[in-house]
Amino acid sequence: MIIVTGAAGFIGSALIWELNNRGVQDILAVDWLDTTSKWKNFYGLRFSEYVDRDDFLKLIEHSDKKCSRVEGVIHLGACSSTTEADARFLMNNNYEYTRKLAMWCQAHNKRFIYASSAATYGSGAQGFSDYHAVLQKLRPLNAYGYSKHAFDLWALQEGLLKSIVGLKYFNVFGPNEYHKQDMRSMALKAFYQIRDQKKIQLFKSHRPEYHDGQQQRDFVYVKDAVRMTLFFWDNKEICGIYNIASGVASTWNALAGAVFSALKQKPYIEYIDMPPTIRDQYQYYTCADISKLRAAGYASPVTVLDAAVSDYVSAYLVPGERHLGE
């Protein structure tokens, strides 16, 4: 049995979809179904059991039978809001919960793969290398990023990165993100803006070295992200922290252009002021170094931005927020 936490979430549900494509159904799905529509991400997915996240730790700690069946845990459950201000909540939810799971997997010799985040890189002043030697130098810009970084540092300090895997997801977009509200990708937001208003709004640049819309991100399609994740499930001898990304920096203008193209519409971009509340936390450039991932043996090509956006828009958004399992 594979345990997937955050199973109803964006990447978690996409991961189960990919496991199902491989014929794997013996999956324990763990999540917290709140008032959002993320339960719809379970449409068409096949798993053997569902357990609420608050009951999950008690279940594995007190069930020897359950423990014997578990191959490992892919821990994707977390609060991923970069604007969440409650640092205590984030540390409990993202750091402490992950620490308990990691210790349980270590005690029972189970594979443990967990979601870190590109938010740990902060402004990018120290680069975007996933080599462990730079971990101590990173300075996240928000409490979410710090909660993820804190666990990376703890795992390094305890020597666990020799036996577990941490994955730093960059700007993932694609089907099953519909419930994420303000944290939805710009690709999704752009689709609705263009469909309804025939234009898209992007933030102006507040740094002279970047023109409006020329801020850059490493965008990665969710289908690529889950294949990269399962590479580490398939190759259990590989451990440590790795970037999950395209390795290419694309501008917001390029992303907007891809959505316009997928909708066969002429580009019309309106640049608006960035809210002062986020200016000090805003990343102007992200581009993952994926050489370590490649050196580990991941050889599959990464879907280029235009093709990924085209697939997302035509196969999932135009039909009406279609889910991966449908």
Gyration radius of the chain's alpha carbons: 19
HSE at residue 316, side-chain half, CA atoms within 13 A, is 23
Contact call for residues 44 and 116 (beta carbons, < 8 A): no
Candidates 40, 180, 204, 292; catalytic one = 180
Contact call for residues 140 and 120 (beta carbons, < 8 A): yes
- pLDDT of 66 reads 60
- pLDDT of 62 reads 75
- pLDDT of 81 reads 74
Compute the Cα dihedral for 292, 295, 300, 303 and give only its sign: positive
Fold of 2-173+218-245+288-302: Rossmann fold (3.40.50)
- pLDDT of 65 reads 61
Contact call for residues 98 and 73 (beta carbons, < 8 A): no
- pLDDT of 64 reads 59
Q: pLDDT tens digits, residue range 175-194?
A: 999 999 888 999 999 999 99
Contact call for residues 308 and 161 (beta carbons, < 8 A): no
State the amino acid at position 60 in one-letter form: I
pLDDT for residue 80 is more than 90: no
Q: Is 316 a catalytic residue?
A: no
- pLDDT of 248 reads 97
pLDDT for residue 16 is more than 90: yes
Percent of the chain surpassing pLDDT 90:
83
Candidates 144, 146, 178, 221; catalytic one = 144
Eight-state DSSP code of residue 301: P
pLDDT for residue 299 is more than 70: yes
CA-CA distance, 302 to 308, in Å (whole number)? Answer: 9
Confidence of residue 78 (pLDDT cuts 50, 70, 90): confident
pLDDT for residue 93 is more than 90: no
What are 84's strand-pairing partners? none
Q: pLDDT tens digits, residue range 112-147?
A: 999 999 999 998 989 999 999 999 999 998 999 999
Work out the average pLDDT over 84-110. 91
Q: Is 97 a catalytic residue?
A: no
Q: pLDDT tens digits, residue range 259-293?
A: 999 999 999 999 999 999 888 878 899 999 999 99
Tokens read off for 190: 């752009």
Higher pLDDT, 30 or 87: 30
Q: Strand 165-169 relative to strand 240-244: parallel, antiparallel, unpaired?
A: parallel
Contact call for residues 8 and 176 (beta carbons, < 8 A): no
Contact call for residues 164 and 113 (beta carbons, < 8 A): yes
Those residues with Cβ within 8 angstroms of residue 137's Cβ, 6 or more apart along the chain or in another chain: 126
Burial profile 102-141: b = 16 or more Cβ within 10 angstroms, e = fewer: bebbeeeebbbbbbbbbbbbbbeeeebbbeeeebeebebb
pLDDT for residue 58 is more than 90: no
The length of the chain in residues reads 326
pLDDT for residue 324 is more than 90: yes
Q: pLDDT tens digits, residue range 193-230?
A: 999 999 999 999 999 999 999 999 999 999 999 999 99
Query: In 3-state terms, what secondary structure has residue 111?
Result: strand
What integer best gives the mean pLDDT of the chain?
Answer: 94
- pLDDT of 209 reads 93
